[in-house]
Structure 1
């Protein structure tokens, strides 16, 4: 076994002393930390700011869904049969006025019929003039006895028959002139053309639809409302309608449907809409009926935490621990929401950050910023003479 020199012996002793000191320090460290933690008590989970509910007015809103439709649609069809379309002057989307010519038919056939009816009228008038003259001559001879009363009566009846034939010929002429007028298809009212089936060169029958028009260009929102909510709505109430594109317009309730669908138990509410380029007939839209204002208990939106499908707020107790309360929320008013139940008016609740808390957590309440007691007075400038003397 090799002998230890004095130098090696000193080094070994120094290493042993260092190891013993390290062991003592490591052994005593956790004990001091635990003692410090126990002396300080439990640590707060979060530093929060608190607020109290406030009374305020909120607008009562009733959400609903429905379709946008035309207020009234006009079907414009052909009133003559067997004629060829020669001109179509409007297309889908065009705005027309009442009486404007939309399309024309070939008028040649009807013009010939009008000429024939006019000639028949002239012939009937000539025959009526002759019959009337014969009746007048027969009346002048009645006193002389040259003609019997039966013959005189026959001449008078002939004159009346000729007059009736004139009236019939006149009616036939009027009918043909009316057919000639119907060779021009006119707009029955002002509005917007929504559909067109008219084609140049087509031969259509009477009653065939050529155009469809949205009367006055007016649209309406037909909202579906449950029968239980229907009594809350009155004609004249306002409604805000949002289209699929996000465009919003404000409409007015025109009428409520007199019946309820027995299958869905919903009723239609008709809301007049102003003209808007992004709202068209046939679109689906959602909206809200504005039903007036009411007094409510309001809290910031940031104070409401949704868990398990329910709304909650955290109330701070006197021991700085929070208690989670389930509440019922109502209408929104800007950045605040109405609480309908579950919260006392004098409660002190966590204003924000509740998503990071649990029921019973200890929190540190942030102190409200202290207002300045008095504005500091501005230092008066030192006169130059005093400054020089100093």
Structure 2
């Protein structure tokens, strides 16, 4: 057994060395606990709320579409990118459009040449008409003095009528040529505008939220290519049941709760008031009430303007709170209620004694209070447990 004794001694020596090297143990200061705080359950009037659920949407949204049919060569932007007014967004294949504009330009040149020829024809016909008219007047004078024969008089009259008809035809030809020239110039203007539509620019500054076309796709009139939010203003579009729409008026301001704006680490609430989940403080002003109820849901669409808020984006879920009236309830500070499993408990102090009682909470209220639906009647003294520090 000597080997076993040697090993035991070696282990003991190593343990003593480790303790020696570690030095004296550092003593941790004892935790200091703050004393329990006394609060009073209060009976007071609280507001009852109706929650109108809805969606955050942009106040102004622009759909970028093509005005012409052409192949897409390039899309310059992507979702999340901000653009300035006049910035190039989409480039289309303009070869066919340019060829159409060139043909229209040639048609304009041809129509203008025809109009010039018609104008010259009028001038020639007018000169011939003036000569025939002068000759006819002279023959009529001579015929009256019986110097010329009736045959010469008839020939002069016929020449005058032919010259008059030729002048009228020349004038009609000029009007037709002028109309054709005007049509050709209009077609050239349209072709030029169409060619300009091959490069699509932003009509207003904004942010790209959707890209619905890629290079190689065919752009068609009415087919969305991009969706822009032109402006930072947001709306909450909420559905209000028909029995409460009379309580909503244009210009009214109502509390709003957006769950996505909850304060990190905040305790979730069982029942919601406007300030539940740490997202209170938002208020929306009613700007539009659609005056037709949805026949399926029996609700009206209400659009309320939201203030500019960091972290608030289109598409988020929100609630618009509409007051229904007031009622009396027992309220206590939220931190006076603790949860033990599925049971909510409070500590009630009665003289020198205290006891735990089960309660049921309702909606959260301003100032960190919560409604007590059952378990308390009001004026009880509660103990809020202290915390270690």
TM-score, normalised via structure 2 length: 0.61
Deviation at 1:194, TM superposition (A): 1.9
Higher helix share: 2
Corresponding residue to 1:152 among 167, 174, 178:
167
Asked whether 1:273 is paired with 2:306, we answer: yes
- Count of aligned pairs: 298
Superposed CA offset, 1:135-194 (max 9, x none): 133223333355522222111111111111110110111111011111111224433222
Residues 56-67 of structure 1 mapped to structure 2, 5 A cutoff: 61-67=49-55
Q: Which runs of 5+ in 2 are unaligned?
A: 1-36, 137-158, 264-278, 385-389
CA contact (8 A) 2:361 2:370 kept: no
CA contact (8 A) 1:50 1:348 kept: no
Determine the C-alpha separation between the residues in 1 that align with 2:328 and 2:300.
29
Residues 1-390 of structure 1 mapped to structure 2, 5 A cutoff: 51=40, 53=42, 61-81=49-69, 83-140=70-127, 141-142=129-130, 143-144=133-134, 145=136, 146-148=159-161, 149-236=164-251, 237-244=253-260, 246=262, 248=279, 250-252=282-284, 253-276=286-309, 278-283=311-316, 285-289=317-321, 299-301=331-333, 332-336=365-369, 348-352=379-383
> Aligned-residue CA RMSD in angstroms?
4.4
Determine the C-alpha separation between the residues in 2 that align with 1:136 and 1:313.
110
Q: Which runs of 5+ in 1 are unaligned?
A: 1-47, 354-390
Question: Comparing 185-194 with 295-304, which one deviates more in the overlay?
Answer: 295-304
SS where residue 153 of structure 1 aligns?
A: helix
CA contact (8 A) 1:233 1:291 kept: no
Structure ranking higher on relative contact order (CA contacts 8 Å, 6+ apart): 2
CA contact (8 A) 1:296 1:339 kept: no
Bigger-Rg structure (1/2): 1
* CA 313–276 in structure 1, closer or farther in 2 if over 3 Å, else same: closer
SS where residue 244 of structure 1 aligns?
A: helix
TM-score, normalised via structure 1 length: 0.61
Deviation at 1:232, TM superposition (A): 3.1
Question: Comparing 289-298 with 270-279, which one deviates more in the overlay?
Answer: 289-298
Deviation at 1:123, TM superposition (A): 1.8
